[in-house]
């Protein structure tokens, strides 16, 4: 039977659609590829400005393997962008999440691209750790004859800027691969440099004279479901500090309401929140720079520049733009990297003052980036709202009281009725399983936020799978976040079990990993029965301690060697039953 591939909704008249269908319908794959390439060639030549040349005969597109190592989705999205551009240039891309990478795939690749983010303190994204270690290990295959390129994503605020992209780039070369496009290290405002790198990479990787003539058209591909990930305004309709007045912490529950409906988020997704800087900090900074009267700069700094981060790059820019001798010495003697730890831009200006104009000061800043917050609600329960749980970051360093930009914006300058700008950050790697599956959730502190969404969703969908929550914080009486919600959920069955660890209620500090160890027999029983294990919250120590506790639990309960117990957890990770969203 003949197909009618051109839909009635195509931007042609009805009789034109019939005509096209008569030609395209019975065409072979080869003829379609030729036609697609020919039409793209016309576009590339300037929409008919140049007389079309007879097209070359169709030839199979050349394969390109794109591997991404991503935690919050940026590298994954760029991998998609690269694939799209590659397809238009005679390449046939295959995208692989590094979480699923088998190293043997590298040896068969002729062209290889890695797009890799760095997390923690210079570590790979959690899902990519296994394959990353294998790539760095002795068993990694030789890559002679493989052409490669690496795009690194990171944040100059971290000492180990783009460390993972850099290490992968070095490793691929050491294994014999041929670097045919130089690595680019991107900061948080990566859109432009990443876009440019994609253009360069495709140019370098595309077969000669591809010129848009060969396009692999995946007729079977389904468009991704549309999700509104635009920045939207929301009104704060609930604003509650969940800690008691005697707590040394401040954790704000925000309920946001969206005009015209909440964006279509899912449990496990986050919201990017666009903060404003503390005007008092900006005033101090402008004063230190001798630019106090500059109202235009002040407004720009409050709304849209990152005026707190101090990176090595900032120090270098300061040295070169001002010629400050002491700053130059700091850099020349290799002390700058250590000096910036725990310091902010204001420390640089105040410690090494020099005449600055507005442009020079502005050039020391980058765009103010949004901060991600796990969504603590399910749309099935809260309708057009989204809830967030935000812990105020406050600390002291080098004799100055410091405040986190976004969390203090929320904790100190917003109130009920105010409006904030947010954007959904989908996370399909931290989603609920089928409703009949058991779930174990480990979420101390603000790590509990997505699990409130999970529990709400499971209640609303009448899921039959059991839920077990491990929560922890400092004090039972002052810091039991969402205590009433958990009590209700335990009563109505949306939650089956809950274990809590309050670290400062006892002389010996008790954390969630200790509770996991105490409950190890049942824990392993749940996991053997197919339960999924979710961890959310602090990446620096909690997530590592929790994983180590689970490895020890396997070793103890099943009488396994440490290696076999580690393997049991690796198996959970490979089966996507050990899921993390840590920060
Ligand atoms: C996917 C994801 C989900 C998240 N979910 C949540 C959530 O649900 N709730 C939540 O509260 N946060 C969450 N976060 C963290 C959040 O995005 C912000 O990082 C956090 O609120 C701090 O942002 P800030 O602008 O207040 O601080 P910033 O201005 O970004 O300052 C933070 C920086 O200050 C420095 N710093 C902080 N404490 C100290 C210290 N004690 N000593 C020295 N230096 C220090 C560190 O350099 C740190 O990177 C999440 C992060 C991610 C990536
Ligand atoms: C908790 C956390 C830790 C990070 N650690 C680093 C780091 O050590 N070095 C770095 O260059 N970038 C670091 N970053 C920045 C990320 O690499 C950057 O946000 C990147 O765009 C994320 O890409 P992804 O969405 O593909 O995971 C960190 C970000 C977060 C939230």
- pLDDT for 3: 56
End-to-end CA separation in angstroms for the chain: 54
**In the predicted structure, residue 419 carries a pLDDT above the cut 90:** yes
What are the backbone angles phi and psi of residue 171, rounded to the nearest 5°? -65, -45
The alpha carbon of 388 and the centre of ligand 1 are apart by a number of angstroms equal to 14
For the CA of 274, the nearest ligand: 1
pLDDT-based confidence at residue 213 (cuts at 50, 70, 90): very low
Q: Is 308 in the pocket of ligand 1 (CB under 6 A)?
A: yes
Q: Whose CA is nearest to atom 1 of ligand 2?
A: 583
Ligand 1 nearest-atom number relative to CA 406: 25
- pLDDT for 218: 44
The alpha carbon of 101 and the centre of ligand 1 are apart by a number of angstroms equal to 30
Length of the chain equals: 583
What's the rounded mean pLDDT across residues 114-135?
A: 96
Q: Where are the alpha helices (DSSP H) in 100-180?
A: 104-108, 129-136, 163-174
- Pocket probe for ligand 2: among 158, 272, 406, the residue whose CB has the most ligand atoms within 8 Å is 158
Q: Which of 205-209, 397-401, 497-501 has the lowest average pLDDT?
A: 205-209
- pLDDT for 117: 98
Who has greater pLDDT, 7 or 401? 401
- pLDDT for 220: 40
Contact indicator for 489, 460 with CB cutoff of 8 Å:
no
Q: Is 583 in the pocket of ligand 1 (CB under 6 A)?
A: yes
- pLDDT for 454: 98
Ligand 1 nearest-atom number relative to CA 450: 8
**SS3 state of residue 316:** helix
CA pair distance 239, 414, nearest whole angstrom = 9
Q: Is 371 in the pocket of ligand 1 (CB under 6 A)?
A: yes
pLDDT-based confidence at residue 42 (cuts at 50, 70, 90): low
Q: Is 267 in the pocket of ligand 1 (CB under 6 A)?
A: no
Q: Which of 206-210, 299-303, 331-335, 529-533 has the lowest average pLDDT?
A: 206-210
**SS3 state of residue 302:** helix
**pLDDT > 70 in the chain, percent:** 91
Q: Is 120 in the pocket of ligand 1 (CB under 6 A)?
A: no
Q: Is 270 in the pocket of ligand 1 (CB under 6 A)?
A: yes
Contact indicator for 130, 573 with CB cutoff of 8 Å:
yes
Q: Whose CA is nearest to atom 5 of ligand 1?
A: 373
- pLDDT for 32: 76
Q: Is 445 in the pocket of ligand 1 (CB under 6 A)?
A: no
pLDDT tens-digit readout, 245-267: 999 999 999 999 999 999 999 99
Q: Is 113 in the pocket of ligand 1 (CB under 6 A)?
A: no
**In the predicted structure, residue 222 carries a pLDDT above the cut 60:** no
Q: Is 407 in the pocket of ligand 1 (CB under 6 A)?
A: yes
Q: Whose CA is nearest to atom 19 of ligand 2?
A: 154
- pLDDT for 55: 53
pLDDT-based confidence at residue 48 (cuts at 50, 70, 90): very low
Q: Is 344 in the pocket of ligand 1 (CB under 6 A)?
A: no
For the CA of 312, the nearest ligand: 2
pLDDT tens-digit readout, 473-494: 999 999 999 999 999 999 999 9
CA pair distance 579, 582, nearest whole angstrom = 10
Ligand 1 nearest-atom number relative to CA 446: 9
For the CA of 75, the nearest ligand: 2
- Comparing CA positions, the residue from 530, 542, 534, 539 lying closest to residue 579 is 534
Q: Whose CA is nearest to atom 18 of ligand 2?
A: 154
For the CA of 160, the nearest ligand: 2
**In the predicted structure, residue 2 carries a pLDDT above the cut 70:** no
- Pocket probe for ligand 1: among 154, 404, 405, the residue whose CB has the most ligand atoms within 8 Å is 404
List CB contacts of 243: < 8 A, sequence separation 6 or more.
Answer: 249, 250, 251, 478, 479, 481
pLDDT tens-digit readout, 341-379: 999 999 999 999 998 999 999 999 999 999 999 999 999
The alpha carbon of 393 and the centre of ligand 1 are apart by a number of angstroms equal to 7
The alpha carbon of 433 and the centre of ligand 1 are apart by a number of angstroms equal to 28
pLDDT-based confidence at residue 57 (cuts at 50, 70, 90): low
What's the rounded mean pLDDT across residues 523-550?
A: 97
Structure tokens of 326?
A: 């002491």
Query: Pocket around ligand 2: residues whose beta carbon is below 6 Å from it?
Result: 70-75, 117-122, 125, 153-155, 158, 160-163, 188, 539, 583
- pLDDT for 59: 64
Q: Whose CA is nearest to atom 29 of ligand 2?
A: 119
Who has greater pLDDT, 111 or 50? 111
The alpha carbon of 522 and the centre of ligand 2 are apart by a number of angstroms equal to 35
Q: Is 581 in the pocket of ligand 1 (CB under 6 A)?
A: yes
CA pair distance 521, 40, nearest whole angstrom = 61
């Amino acid at each position: 039977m003949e197909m009618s591939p051109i839909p009635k909704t195509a931007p042609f008249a009805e009789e034109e659609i019939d005509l096209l269908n008569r030609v395209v319908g019975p065409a072979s794959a080869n003829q379609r590829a030729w036609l697609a390439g020919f039409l793209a060639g016309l576009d590339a030549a300037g929409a008919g400005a140049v007389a079309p040349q007879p097209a070359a005969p169709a030839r199979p597109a050349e394969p390109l393997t794109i591997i991404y190592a991503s935690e919050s989705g940026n590298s994954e999205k760029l991998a998609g962008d690269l694939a799209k551009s590659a397809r238009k240039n005679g390449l046939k891309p295959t995208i692989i999440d590094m979480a699923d990478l088998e190293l043997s795939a590298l040896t068969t690749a002729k062209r290889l691209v890695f797009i890799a983010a760095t997390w923690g303190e210079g570590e790979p994204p959690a899902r990519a750790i296994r394959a990353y270690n294998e790539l760095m290990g002795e068993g990694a295959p030789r890559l002679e004859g493989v052409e490669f390129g690496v795009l690194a994503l990171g944040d100059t605020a971290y000492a180990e800027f783009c460390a993972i992209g850099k290490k992968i780039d070095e490793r691929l070369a050491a294994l014999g691969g041929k670097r045919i496009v130089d690595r680019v290290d991107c900061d948080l405002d990566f859109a432009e440099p990443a876009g440019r790198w994609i253009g360069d990479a495709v140019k370098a990787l595309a077969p000669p004279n591809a010129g848009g003539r060969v396009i692999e058209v995946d007729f079977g591909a389904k468009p991704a479901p549309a999700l509104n990930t635009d920045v939207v305004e929301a009104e704060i309709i609930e604003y509650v500090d969940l800690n008691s007045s005697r707590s040394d912490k401040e954790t704000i529950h925000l309920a946001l309401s969206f005009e015209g409906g909440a964006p279509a988020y899912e449990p496990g997704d986050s919201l990017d929140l666009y903060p404003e800087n503390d005007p008092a900090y900006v005033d101090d900074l402008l004063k230190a720079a001798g630019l106090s009267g500059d109202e235009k700069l002040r407004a720009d700094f409050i709304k849209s520049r990152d005026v707190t981060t101090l990176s090595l790059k900032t120090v270098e820019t300061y040295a070169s733009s001002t010629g400050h001798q002491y700053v130059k010495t700091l850099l020349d003697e290799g002390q700058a990297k250590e000096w910036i730890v725990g310091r902010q831009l204001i420390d640089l200006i105040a410690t090494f003052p020099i005449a600055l104009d507005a442009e020079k000061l502005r050039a020391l800043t980058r765009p103010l980036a949004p901060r991600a917050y796990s969504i603590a609600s399910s749309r099935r329960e809260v309708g057009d709202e989204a809830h967030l749980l935000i812990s105020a970051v406050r600390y002291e360093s080098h004799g100055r009281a410091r405040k986190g930009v976004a969390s203090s914006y929320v904790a100190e300058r917003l109130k009920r009725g105010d409006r904030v700008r947010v954007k959904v950050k989908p996370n399909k790697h931290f989603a609920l399983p089928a409703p009949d599956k058991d779930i174990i959730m480990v979420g101390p502190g603000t790590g509990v936020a997505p699990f409130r969404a999970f529990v709400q969703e499971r209640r609303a969908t009448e899921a039959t799978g059991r839920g077990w929550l491990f929560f922890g914080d400092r004090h039972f009486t002052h810091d039991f976040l969402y205590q009433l919600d958990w009590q209700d959920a335990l009563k109505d069955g949306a939650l089956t079990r809950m274990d809590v660890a309050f670290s400062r209620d006892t002389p010996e500090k008790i954390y969630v990993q200790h509770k996991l160890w105490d409950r190890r027999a049942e824990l392993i029983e749940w996991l053997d029965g197919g339960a999924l294990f979710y961890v959310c919250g602090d990446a620096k120590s909690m997530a590592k301690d929790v994983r180590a506790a689970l490895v020890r639990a396997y070793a103890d309960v099943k009488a396994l060697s440490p290696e076999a117990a580690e393997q049991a957890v690796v198996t959970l990770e490979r089966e996507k039953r050990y899921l993390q969203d840590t920060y």
